[in-house]
Amino acid sequence: MKRIGIIAKQNKPEAVNITGQLVEWLQSRGIDVYIEEGLGEAVRATTKGPWLSGIKKEEIPNHAEMIIVLGGDGTLLSVARLMGKHEVPILGVNLGGLGFLTEITLEELYRVLERVIRGEYVTDERVVLTVGVIRRGEKLTEFTVLNDAVINKGALARIIDIETTINGDYLTTFKSDGLIISTPTGSTAYNLSAGGPIVYPSLHCIIITPICSHTLTNRPIMVPDDVEIGVILKSKQQEVLLTLDGQQGFVLEFGDTVEVKKAEGRILLIKSPYRHYFEVLREKLKWGER
């Protein structure tokens, strides 16, 4: 592996310092480093030796054989949206708190990198969803999500009606505070907080979880990831927002249809050679502790 990109949480001083050290370490091994423009400016003063000019963040997947993400799950989610059809492995390094996606610790970073550079690594394939908004027959916008798409009412709004179909077949009309459509990767995010199941991340499915359903028999349901989910907002005069991975938002209107289906691309996350998924679950969710 000779071309590596680095993307970090720029407002975190620790991430900037680690990036500078990482650039020196990689360049000393003859590796070309691609770094986003803003981050490059932040660390240039602390880095010795050869230096590469920063490039636009969205261009890094075009050049790198692997991308190192320094931050938390939020930083990695923002990188996932850049990938498109570029199936470039991502090495997520956790510099935050609770992190299911960035499972590599800072202490093991360089040990893992040594193995990755030699080609000794395994990746997890993660499903990605495309989410489109249709209004009066016209597609207004489309998003890519790794975790979830959430339809949620405003703070002062009443319960909303959300008509849901699977491949055009009517499922039900949820009367609830909202609806979460989640990938297995996102099952440990908002889905988990709303009472949805934890799903092994490599399974090929989509989870539909109502938020505080008015009907107690409305329960989360898992469907295959090769279906198209249609969601129609049936409530008038309500403040309703579509949120993507908790980082992007779009205001919905009465009659809008949200279409959700599996994207063509996929995300490849490099697994830690020192722990498995169930160990991460136990650690993050504090299972077994009193």
Average confidence (pLDDT) over 217-233: 96
Average confidence (pLDDT) over 216-220: 91
Q: What is the pLDDT of residues 39-55, one digit of tens each?
A: 877 777 665 555 666 88
141, pLDDT greater than 80:
yes
Q: What pLDDT is attached to residue 174?
A: 96
Give the Cα separation of 152 and 134 in Å (integer).
17
Residues noted as catalytic:
73
Give the Cα separation of 215 and 198 in Å (integer).
22
Name the CA dihedral angle for 96, 54, 21, 74, rounded to a multiple of 10 degrees: 10
Question: By C-alpha distance, which of 103, 118, 105, 139 is closest to 259?
Answer: 139
Q: What is the pLDDT of residues 150-207, one digit of tens each?
A: 999 887 778 999 999 999 999 999 999 999 999 999 999 999 999 999 999 999 999 9
Of 5-14, 58-67, 82-91, 241-250, least confident by mean pLDDT is 5-14
Question: By C-alpha distance, which of 238, 147, 141 is closest to 192?
Answer: 147
Domains of the chain: 3-122+271-285 (3.40.50.10330), 128-264 (2.60.200.30)
61, pLDDT greater than 70:
yes
Question: By C-alpha distance, which of 34, 6, 33, 182 is closest to 90?
Answer: 6
Which of 26-35, 64-73, 164-173 is predicted most confidently?
A: 164-173
Which of 10-14, 117-121, 155-159 is predicted most confidently?
A: 117-121
β-bridge partners, 26:
none
φ, ψ for residue 122, nearest 5 deg: -125, 140
The larger pLDDT score, comparing residue 21 to residue 289, is at 21
